[in-house]
Amino acid sequence: MFPVQNKVLQELLDGNKRFLAGSSQQSSQGSLVKLKEFAQAGQSPKAIVLCCSDSRAPVEMIFDQDIGDLFVIRVAGNIVAPSLIGSVEFAAATYGTSLVLVMGHTQCGAVTATLNHIQNFQVPTSENIHDIVSRIKPHVYTIAQHTEIDFEQKVHRAIEANVRASVSQLSSSSRMIEALVFQKQMAIFGGILDLATGQFKILES
């Protein structure tokens, strides 16, 4: 349905396989040359990645991509907020980037904090952190109420639910993005990075 976007997505998945195999192709020398070229010619990223700010999830490294390949938007909990939607719109409108990937990850601190806020009434340490928690909370509240699973399982399910929610919000919170998706000029996928292995998996729609 989305041949161009699927091709780019496959390139990222293949890059992740190389990363896992210890056969990444990128080099600092080649990256420096590209940086100088892009400084003069401008950028043309192949994909937009909305992901968490966690230091253990370096996007270019995980997908074995180089300078200029990815337009990365990082925010705790890979949440969707107006400025982040605007960043996606900017990349789509300015560079014609047509693949958006929402990448969550295991052991997400923002999601864990949200579950603790719901279950244990832990108060976020600042108003700004509370804003992040409040954006995640509606998508994981039901999961937090489950009594038949332990906290670790709740975190796992909540991380997946949060990624799916971000994909849904991106698809419906912007007239520009909604039109691009409808016209098959943009595709939005979600997936989870396993911090214990480095493997990235796409979530089935």
The domain that holds 47 is classified in CATH as 3.40.1050.10
Residue 7 in tokens = 């091709």
pLDDT at 139 over 90: yes
Tell me the helix, strand and coil percentages in the chain, rounded to 5: 55, 15, 30
Domain count, the chain: 1
Confidence category of residue 29, pLDDT binned at 50, 70, 90: confident
Distance CA 169, CA 130 (A): 19
Average pLDDT in the 85-93 region? 98
pLDDT at 89 over 80: yes
Cβ neighbours of residue 147 closer than 8 Å, sequence gap 6 or more: none
Average pLDDT in the 127-145 region? 96
What is the largest distance, in Å, between two alpha-carbon atoms of the chain?
A: 58
pLDDT at 90 over 90: yes
Q: Which domain holds residue 110?
A: 3-202
Average pLDDT in the 56-81 region? 96
